[in-house]
Amino acid sequence: MEKDILNVSLLQLDLIWENTQANREKCEQYFKQLPKDCDLVVLPEMFTSGFTMSPENVAETMDGETIQWLKKWALQLDAAICGSLVVIENGMYYNRFVFVKPNGSVALYNKRHTFNMAGEGEKYEAGTKQTIIKYKSWSIFPQVCYDLRFPVFARNTMEYDLVIYVANWPKTRVAAWDTLLQARAIENMSYSIGVNRVGTDGNNLEYVGHSAVYNALGSTQIKNQIGEGILSTSLSKTHLKKTRQKLPFLEDKDRFTLL
């Protein structure tokens, strides 16, 4: 069914270090406060644990407790829920973006660019494929944190409407987060959503959020620089189409193939 308006809610959270149950309970408190017309809920990167390099402490399977919990809440809210968590599969760990729809189906994307300065590539298997998620006639391109620094991988050759970045992006580099998230919207003529955590993690890294939504021209639609909470806004497919028709920049994009 064609849906012009997509109502989205971003949950900017102070994650509890490597405590999956406590983080699920925190999410539930915010789920109960969501707008009644919410279509999509976006959680941060590794929303059950924080950005840990000890995956063995928190890893789950795709049949595990968190996925079942997401399915229950997606059905109850009649909204899709997405974010990343630590998944173990075939003996390997993944920083996996999951997108759970109200009907219980699950789309996934494995983080392509592991943050090797923190040793992520030594602990987690890097993804190899781009993913496009179809939801309510919207084409959504999922990305995770460090992926934001690699515009070629995100170049809109797939005709997506919305790119979503979920992150644990520290305060010391938040200016880059702000700039790059806005740039991804402008260069790809798409909506760009970024959800970052707040608080301090188990490595004493500080996070200040700056979760935001930008439209296809890079205008800030909503942004939170304060602390934990919900940010809600509406995306318009009609507005996106009219913008692209008026300014058809994507027609002149370079053609290439990723290896």
The amino acid that residue 194 corresponds to is G
Contacts of 47 (CB under 8 A, 6+ apart): 13, 15, 23, 27, 83, 84, 85, 166
The amino acid that residue 91 corresponds to is G
Please provide the distance, in angstroms rounded to a whole number, between the alpha carbons at the two ends of the chain: 34
Q: Which of 18, 45, 60, 125 is catalytic?
A: 45
56 in active site: no
For strands 106-110 and 40-42, give the pairing: unpaired
Contact 18, 54 (CB under 8 A): yes
Q: Which of 27, 38, 82, 145 is catalytic?
A: 145
Altogether, the residues listed in the chain come to a count of 259
38 in active site: no
120 in active site: no
Q: Which of 26, 71, 101, 111 is catalytic?
A: 111
Catalytic center residues: 45, 111, 145
